[in-house]
Amino acid sequence: MATEKRQNHVALSNPDDVIHRRELGQGVNNALDGKLNSTGTVTLTENVATTVILDQRIGVDSYIKLSPTSANAAAIVASIFISSKGKKTATVTHTSDANTDKTYDYLVIG
């Protein structure tokens, strides 16, 4: 299953300085509160050994951490890994079985 996550950005400039300062302040305050807009969710594809994550924040040097959110996902956590990363994409290699609830939250840094 390929999933894509979109994110919002603060404009680099804005003719209305008050709005721009407010957006920058909200962004900084959100970051200080741990709201980094760097998370997503992926469900591993059943009966195949790889699943692709499509996310515009992913790059070749990104760190991607997977965290299981279901019992079947937790049961195979030792056998899954990020096998490749590229511009806006990462491939998760995992056990091939018929379970459809192997869901993970993920974190992208960098």
Q: Give residue-wise pLDDT tens across range 75-104.
A: 999 999 999 999 999 999 999 999 999 999
pTM: 0.78
Contacts of 5 (CB under 8 A, 6+ apart): 40, 54, 55, 56, 57
Q: Looking up tokens 């407010």, which residue turns up?
A: 22
Record the tokens describing residue 78, joined without a space. 């030792």
Q: In terms of residue numbers, what domain contains 35? A: 3-109
Rg (CA), the chain: 17
- Quote the number of domains for the chain: 1
Rounded Cα distance, 46 and 49, in Å? 8
